[in-house]
Amino acid sequence: MSRHHAAVRPDPRMNDTSLAPRGGRFEPRIAQRQRTGRLFRGLCLAAVAFGVVSLVVLLIDVTRDGLGVLSLDFLTRYPSRLPARAGIRSAILGSLWMVLLVTVLAFPLGVGAAVYLEEYAPKNWFTRMLQTNIANLAGVPSIVYGILGLAVFVRFLGFGRSVLAGAATLALLTLPVVIIAAQEAIRAVPSSLREASYGLGASRWQTIRHHVLPVAMPGILTGTILALSRAIGETAPLIMIGALTFIAFDPVTPMDSFTVLPIQIFNWTQDARAPFHDLAAGGIVVLLVVLLLMNASAILLRNKYQRKL
Amino acid sequence: MSSVIANPAVGEGVETALETRELSVHYGDKAAIKGISLSIPRHRVVAFIGPSGCGKSTLLRCFNRMNDLVPSARVSGEVLFRGQNLYASDVDPVEVRRRIGMVFQKPNPFPKSIYDNVAFGLRINGFKDDIGERVEQSLRAAALWDEVKDRLDDNALGLSGGQQQRLCIARALAVEPDILLMDEPASALDPIASGRIEDLIGDLKRDYTIVIVTHNMQQAARVSDFTAFLYIGELIEYAETERLFTNPAHERTEAYITGRFG
Amino acid sequence: MNDTGFSLGARRRLVVQERIIGALLFGCGVVSVLTTIGIVVVLVSQSVGFFAEVSPLEFLTGTRWSPQLVPQSFGILPLLNGTLIIAIGSSLIAIPIGLASAIYLSEYSKPRTRRIIKPILEVLAGIPTVVYGYFGIMFVTPILRTIFPQTGIFNAASAAIVVGIMILPMVSSLSEDALAAVPRSLREAAYGLGATKFEVSTRVVTPAALSGIVASFILAVSRAIGETMAVALAAGATPRLTLNPLESVQTMTAYIVQVSLGDTPYGSLEYRTIFAVGLVLFLITLAMNLLSQRITRRFREVYE
């Protein structure tokens, strides 16, 4: 009867009555469980809706308040005690200075560190510590970077409350994010590419420079742009290093005093007088547009190069 | 593609556990199985064999409506269980799956304790009797009790591959299915563990109807009473295992079992 | 003369060049170490000067924070309280809503829906904190005052709400990653036993992803603790030991900003409170981030 090999040992089950679990009482109550499931799904959907609706409400509120203020004058005038004559010129210039200088400082250092970690670093405790350190730095509150910048750049190195001090502080803030993004992009480069290059006798740096970096660059750029877009919105560190709130001139050299859009917005929002709130909203609209452009370009960049691959 | 329902056990006085009528499954435009009509006899072991992609797993998954989980799958035809078409619009697949259990190719215990793994099905299906007793019964039926009785609270992922698969079987048995579907249950296991699963199937046959998909023909020959050979989504031959392997009626069946392809 | 045809001189130059480049790149990596060292040195050295004049016990257990007004008092508890209220309040919003969103996106939504919704939630994360501060004080607070007339113009609730919205995408995105990482085979096993989608999601998938989910909670709370501008604008600058969210409070971060904006002389005791408070802030967020990393590592081990 049994088709499989004869059991050598006496199988206790052969003589037992069936061992199969039977005769239990079940109350599956399927309809009720499905009802609960539908309720749950509704709650989760409501949660998603909350996020989306919050965004929409926020954007509408800000735009409604700020749209009336937007004009060419608004973009080209300095802040003023008279709301009708105030503008964000110095703030825009200050933010521009920040973006440029932070890129100049953080991009080479960040990519360099990423290249080192991915291509050169031996797998030892020091490298692990370095990696953990960078991950931790990414989570340090931005105001602590402000404290660091204040003590080191403003005071110790004597930069004063200048564009340079601000940019250096923001560069340190942005650095961990750039490193992590660049590392991911470099890691995504297939090792077959490196092996082919080494196989032809190229040195490590030649391989990186001519093969790895070009392939990883779109990802690196995307990550950098996203990191910079966060830097543009930073307020607290720059307040710490002394970026002022009432600047009525164009910052021309890296040692000039300056202000940035978020600080101007902060200052106007805090003002007790209502017309300045609308100015703040106007500044917010400008800031959001700039961020939108930056993020859109980062996404376009990523899509363009993803299709190529 | 005939509308006669293939039944190799006809005339033996054996009841039918499950019956398909013109069952077809399409993934998008591709047809995975076409117009299959067969009958699974009760308290027997039926093996589905065939080369990769022949649709044997797809067919198996029709029996407990697991194909519902694939958004692009379209099922036509009928699957009759206890006189009811499982694919009727008023049938909730959740109901079907307690009665028709499944064991998968790669053992997939939950990352919970051994006890909670077996108890899971009982709890969600509103088991009213003593859960602890039922857990022990199920583990005994799966020939795993002696090995785990002292560590029921340990994480199931700490078991070996073969033990995990027997745990999955115990888990399925706990909710009293009529039919047990096994999708290549031993293919991820080493030969010794695989052999134990085969022994287990032989024992379980007494109480359950078992349908097993396997790409291992020797296993099918050892373990099953009836074997169905599928090829590119169609049922080619379905007969008593001994006859199909020693004297296949179709040329293609013979080509497959003699290893000329697949 | 070697047989590759390259002169020995060129080969040696290449090796030297490689070494220099390697050293330069190593230097880049070291900058991050210098940053951390810098933070620690600055905070600790200045705090040492501070604690020479103010006893750490008074600092950590005192219930009045008034460094600039006579009579001076340096108890940090009101600031900790402010930070805590905001952290808890924002978590009450972000954690349930974020997790529920993650479950929906991971288990229920169609891929096309997820592709649209995810970026929208990411936008929430990218909005600068001053904008949230503006939104809090200009939109949320007036609504709160209509519902609860005793609400102050500056209040903790408004700040907690907007910070909650701000960290919501963090919880949602990271939790969703954790849920998506749960292997499909586990879901199939649960369905095979006759579970409904609700049961599969809540009793199998979510528990399996728990470490990753909890790690995301901790990271989000850490972010809320470090948040500055939104609370400075919406919650005000009144250090206060209170559980009433309708009152104005001051967080550690908002205090530091307040001092910077003022004209407290550099090097004075009042000024050095920045560093002492900053040190506490740094240690708290560091501990939370380390904890979160530890939990994530444990989570990865389950599936590898």
Summarize pLDDT for A134-183 with one digit per residue, the tens. 999 999 999 999 999 999 998 899 888 889 999 999 999 999 999 999 99
In this prediction, residue A6 carries a pLDDT of 38
Q: Which of residues 272-291 of C touch A (CB under 8 A)?
A: 274-275, 278, 281-282, 285-286, 289-290
Of the pLDDT bands very low, low, confident and very high (cuts 50, 70, 90), residue A15 is very low
Q: Does residue B11 lie within any of the structural domains?
A: no
Residues A62 and A152 placed together within one structural domain of the fold:
no
Question: Could you tell me if A10 lies within 8 Å of chain B, comparing CB atoms?
Answer: no
Q: How far is A139 from chain C (nearest CA, A)?
A: 7
In this prediction, residue C5 carries a pLDDT of 58
Q: Are C275 and C43 spatial neighbours (Cβ–Cβ below 8 Å)?
A: yes
Residues A87 and A59 placed together within one structural domain of the fold:
no
Q: Does residue C115 lie within any of the structural domains?
A: yes
Q: Does residue A7 lie within any of the structural domains?
A: no
Residues A114 and A166 placed together within one structural domain of the fold:
yes
Burial class (CB in 10 A: 0-12, 13-18, 19+), A211: middle
Q: Does residue C60 lie within any of the structural domains?
A: no
Structural domain tally of chain B?
1
> Considering chain B, what is the average pLDDT of its residues?
91
Strands B39-41 and B234-240: unpaired
pLDDT, tens digit, for every residue of B90-124? 999 999 999 999 999 999 999 999 999 999 999 99
Q: Does residue B182 lie within any of the structural domains?
A: yes
Residue B1, pLDDT > 50, answer: no
Residue B77 Rama label (left phi>0; alpha psi -120 to 50; beta): left
Residue B12, pLDDT > 90, answer: no
Residues A189 and A149 placed together within one structural domain of the fold:
yes
Put simply, the answer to whether C130 touches A270 (Cβ < 8 Å) is no
Residues A135 and A270 placed together within one structural domain of the fold:
yes
Residues C249 and C107 placed together within one structural domain of the fold:
yes
Domain span holding position C48: 8-53
Contacts (Cβ under 8 Å, ≥6 apart) of B101: B64, B172, B173, B175, B177, B179, B180, B181, C192, C193
**Mean pLDDT confidence for A41-55:** 96
How many CB atoms neighbour CB C52 within 10 A?
A: 10
Q: Are B112 and C207 spatial neighbours (Cβ–Cβ below 8 Å)?
A: yes
The residues with which B231 forms a beta bridge, in sequence order, are: B234
Residues of C in contact with A229 (CB under 8 A): 126
Residues of A in contact with B122 (CB under 8 A): 24
In this prediction, residue A2 carries a pLDDT of 40
Q: Which residue of C has its CA nearest to B121?
A: C193
**What sections of C104-155 are H helices per DSSP?**
111-126, 129-135, 141-147
Residues A108 and A40 placed together within one structural domain of the fold:
no
Q: Which residue of B has its CA nearest to A2?
A: B202
Residues of B in contact with A24 (CB under 8 A): 122, 127-129, 134, 176
Domain span holding position A50: 34-69
Residue A307, pLDDT > 70, answer: no
In this prediction, residue B206 carries a pLDDT of 87
* CB nearest A133 (choices: C33, C96, C275): C33
Q: Does residue C59 lie within any of the structural domains?
A: no
Q: How far is A53 from chain B (nearest CA, A)?
A: 29
Put simply, the answer to whether A30 touches B92 (Cβ < 8 Å) is yes
Q: How far is A125 from chain B (nearest CA, A)?
A: 30
Q: Which residue of C has its CA nearest to B158?
A: C302
Put simply, the answer to whether A108 touches C28 (Cβ < 8 Å) is yes
Residues of C in contact with B168 (CB under 8 A): 189
Q: How far is A302 from chain B (nearest CA, A)?
A: 29
Q: Does residue A79 lie within any of the structural domains?
A: yes
Question: Could you tell me if C253 lies within 8 Å of chain A, comparing CB atoms?
Answer: yes
Domain span holding position B20: 16-257
Residue A9, pLDDT > 60, answer: no
Residues of B in contact with A7 (CB under 8 A): 199
Q: Does residue C33 lie within any of the structural domains?
A: yes
Residues A62 and A164 placed together within one structural domain of the fold:
no
Q: How far is B57 from chain C (nearest CA, A)?
A: 14
Residue A268, pLDDT > 60, answer: yes
Q: Does residue C58 lie within any of the structural domains?
A: no
How many CB atoms neighbour CB C259 within 10 A?
A: 18
Q: CB pairs under 8 A, 24+ apart, for C272-276?
A: C272/C46, C272/C47, C272/C49, C272/C50, C273/C50, C273/C67, C273/C74, C274/A147, C274/C46, C275/A147, C275/C42, C275/C43, C275/C46, C275/C47, C275/C50, C276/C46, C276/C47, C276/C50, C276/C51, C276/C54, C276/C59, C276/C76
How many CB atoms neighbour CB C181 within 10 A?
A: 15
Structural domain tally of chain C?
2
Q: Does residue A141 lie within any of the structural domains?
A: yes
DSSP helix/strand/coil, B30: strand
Contacts (Cβ under 8 Å, ≥6 apart) of C73: C62, C64, C65, C66, C67
> Considering chain A, what is the average pLDDT of its residues?
87
Residues in chain C with pLDDT values less than 50:
1, 304
Residues of B in contact with A18 (CB under 8 A): 206-207
Residues C21 and C81 placed together within one structural domain of the fold:
no
Put simply, the answer to whether C168 touches A232 (Cβ < 8 Å) is no
pLDDT, tens digit, for every residue of A203-244? 888 888 888 998 899 889 988 998 999 899 999 999 998 887
Residues C289 and C157 placed together within one structural domain of the fold:
yes
Q: How far is A20 from chain B (nearest CA, A)?
A: 6
Quote the CA–CA distance of B97 and A176 in Å, as a whole number. 50
Residues C12 and C148 placed together within one structural domain of the fold:
no
How far, in Å, are A10, A93, B48 from residue A55 at the CA level? Answer: 71, 28, 54
- Touching subunits for chain A (3+ Cβ pairs under 8 A): B, C
Residue B8 CA to its chain's centroid (Å): 18
Put simply, the answer to whether C188 touches B121 (Cβ < 8 Å) is no
Q: Does residue A285 lie within any of the structural domains?
A: yes
Q: Are B233 and B55 spatial neighbours (Cβ–Cβ below 8 Å)?
A: yes
Put simply, the answer to whether A26 touches B95 (Cβ < 8 Å) is no
Put simply, the answer to whether C186 touches B110 (Cβ < 8 Å) is yes
Q: Which of A17-21, A196-200, A220-224, C219-223 has the highest mean pLDDT?
A: C219-223
Question: Could you tell me if B32 lies within 8 Å of chain A, comparing CB atoms?
Answer: no
Residues C43 and C77 placed together within one structural domain of the fold:
no
* CB nearest C199 (choices: B69, B71, B124): B124
In this prediction, residue B232 carries a pLDDT of 92
Residues A63 and A153 placed together within one structural domain of the fold:
no
The domain that holds C242 is classified in CATH as 1.10.3720.10
Q: How far is C252 from chain B (nearest CA, A)?
A: 41
Residues A181 and A56 placed together within one structural domain of the fold:
no
Contacts (Cβ under 8 Å, ≥6 apart) of A59: A288
Residues A59 and A98 placed together within one structural domain of the fold:
no
Residues A111 and A41 placed together within one structural domain of the fold:
no
The domain that holds B24 is classified in CATH as 3.40.50.300
Residues of C in contact with B66 (CB under 8 A): 188, 191-192
Q: Are B44 and B74 spatial neighbours (Cβ–Cβ below 8 Å)?
A: no
Residue (of C40, C44, C43, C78) closest to C59 by Cα position: C78
Residues C272 and C143 placed together within one structural domain of the fold:
yes
Residues C102 and C20 placed together within one structural domain of the fold:
no
* CB nearest B108 (choices: C186, C207, C302): C186
Residues C23 and C138 placed together within one structural domain of the fold:
no
Put simply, the answer to whether C204 touches B110 (Cβ < 8 Å) is yes
Q: How far is A3 from chain B (nearest CA, A)?
A: 6
Residues C48 and C71 placed together within one structural domain of the fold:
no
More confident residue, C167 or B53: C167
In this prediction, residue B2 carries a pLDDT of 47
Residues C158 and C19 placed together within one structural domain of the fold:
no
Structural domain tally of chain A?
2
Q: Does residue A104 lie within any of the structural domains?
A: yes
Put simply, the answer to whether B110 touches C189 (Cβ < 8 Å) is yes
In this prediction, residue A4 carries a pLDDT of 40
* CB nearest C191 (choices: B66, B110, B157): B66
In this prediction, residue A18 carries a pLDDT of 67
Residues C124 and C44 placed together within one structural domain of the fold:
no
**What is the dihedral sign for C-alpha C129, C132, C133, C134?**
positive
Q: How far is A33 from chain B (nearest CA, A)?
A: 9
- Touching subunits for chain C (3+ Cβ pairs under 8 A): A, B
Residues C25 and C120 placed together within one structural domain of the fold:
no
